Amino acid sequence: MQKANSQKEMDLIVEKLVYGGYGLARSQDKIIMVENAYPQEHVKVIPKKTGKNLMFAEVKEIIKPSTYRIQPNCNHFPTCGGCNWLDLKYEQQLIAKTNIVKEQTERIGKISNFYVKDIIGSEIICEYRNRMEYTFQFDQKNQEFKLGLMQNDSKNVVDLQKCLISPHIFNKIRNQTKDFFQKLNLEIYSDRKNRGVLKYLVLRKSFSFNQIMVIIVTHTEYLPFQKEITDFFRENFKIYSLIHLMNSSKNIVLRGPYKTLYGEGLIQEQFDNFKFQIPPTSFFQSNYNVTKKLLGYLLDYFKDRVSYSDTLLDLFSGVGLFSIYFSSLFKEIESIENSKVSYKAAIANSHINAIKNIRFYHDTVENFVNNSVDKKFDYIILDPPRKGISQNEINKISSIVKKAVVYVSCDPSTLLRDINAFLSNGLKLKVIQPFDMFPHSFHIENVAILEKNN
C-alpha cells in the first residue's frame, strides 16, 4: 500500500458500511474505503493510500448526505478515535452491524444461506463504557500538555474536554487530573525516546455499586509526589480504589506490577446474585447493560439443553464470569486463565459466591487443551482475545467437546475464520447472535454456537 497522490479528487457513491468503520465505494474495479462516509452518500474524496485493487480515502466534500446522518453532539468528533459513527442514527448503526456480520459469514466463514440474527442493541448508548484509557502526551510543537484519546490514524492525542460514551464522572476526573498533573510538572513518557514518567490515566467504574477505580500508569517503578497524588484523588472524588501501575509495555496499557495507594485495590460488579471482584489489570466486558443481555441469552440456551451431569470447560475465563454465572447448571466446570491476576481473582470470586464445583487452572489455553486429549467436556465456552485462536487449538477443542462450543468474540473477522475451521472439524453452526457492546463504533460482539454432529 503506497501513499496516494492527495491532489487526485474522486466523486463516489458509497454503497455500504464495512468492518473497520469505512464506507465502501467502487471506481474502475477498485474498492475505495472512505472514512466518515455512509451508504448512498455522494462524496468527493481525496485518496490517502492506494494499492492494486484497494484504496483508502478521506472525504473532502459531502455533495449529497445520507438521510441517516445526524449532527454529532461532540466537539472532538471525528478527529478523536474514540467513536466512528457518532453522526449516524443509532438504528442504522445496528442495521449496518448486522449486515457486516452477515457479509463476513459468507465471505470469510464461507457459509452461504445462513441466517444471522439481528443484533441485540444497547438501551444505553451514551456514558456506557466502564473503562476508559487516556494517554498523557506533551505536544512539543505547541508546547501543550495533553490527556485524552488517540487521534484517528495518528499518534497524536486529542485533548478531550467531554466524551459522550464515558460516564460523566470520568470527564470530571480527567479534566481535573490534567490540571493537577500539569502543575506537578512531571515528565510525560516519550515512546520515541523510551523515557519519562506519566503514560496513562485509566478509569474503571462498577455500574452495580457505582465504584470508581483510578489507575495511574507510569513508565517508572516510582511515582513522584505519591502522597500529593493520593490526597488529590481521595479529597476530590469519591473513589473506591487508587492504583499505581508500573508499565514497560509499548503496546498494552494494563500490564505490569501494581500497588494500591488507596482503597480496596479492586472494584466489584454484580450480575443477578453473583458478585465479582475486578482487579486493575483484569479484562472485563466494557458495557454492563449488554453484558447482562449476553449472559441472559446464554443462560436461555444452556437451560433448555444442559443436564446436571454435564460438564463445562471455560477457556480464557478471566475473573470467572461465565464459570461462576453458569455454575448451578453443570456438575463440574474447569476454568482456564493465563493471567495470574485474573486467575487469583476467579478463585476469590468463587469463594465470595460459595461456588464449589469449579476447578481453576493457571495455564495457557493451548497448553491445557494439548494435555487434555483423554478428557472430554460436554460444553466448551471461550472468549479469546481479538486475534482469535490457532488451528491447533481449534483441532484440540473439537476433539474434546461432546455437545457444543460457545464462542464469544469482539472481532467478526477472526470469529468467522475460526468458525470455518471448526466446521472442517465436523461441528455444525447453530447460531450467530451479534450484540452491540460498543455503540457509536464499528466493533461488534458476537456469540456463535457450534454443535457437535453426534
The residues that are catalytic are 410
Tally Cβ neighbours within 10 Å of residue 424.
Answer: 12
Query: φ and ψ at 97, to 5 degrees?
Result: -70, -40
Query: φ and ψ at 99, to 5 degrees?
Result: -65, -35
Yes or no: say if 429 and 83 are a contact pair by the CB < 8 Å rule: no
Q: What is the rounded distance in angstroms from the CA atom of residue 310 to the CA atom of residue 378?
A: 6
Distance separating the N- and C-terminal Cα atoms of the chain: 47
Beta strands in 184-301 (DSSP E): 198-206, 211-218, 241-246, 258-263, 267-271, 274-278
Q: Distances from the Cα of 21 to the Cαs of 6, 90, 358, 440, 441, in angstroms?
A: 21, 14, 40, 10, 7
Mutual angle of helices 412-424 and 90-107, in 10-degree steps: 30
Q: What is the rounded distance in angstroms from the CA atom of residue 187 to the CA atom of residue 197?
A: 5
Q: What is the rounded distance in angstroms from the CA atom of residue 137 to the CA atom of residue 147?
A: 6
Helix (H, G, I), strand (E, B) or coil at 90: helix
Residue linked to cell 494500591: 260
Yes or no: say if 205 and 162 are a contact pair by the CB < 8 Å rule: no
The tally of CA atoms less than 13 A away on the side-chain side of residue 137 is 21
In 3D space, the residue among 274, 264, 250, 290 whose CA is nearest the CA of residue 129 turns out to be: 290
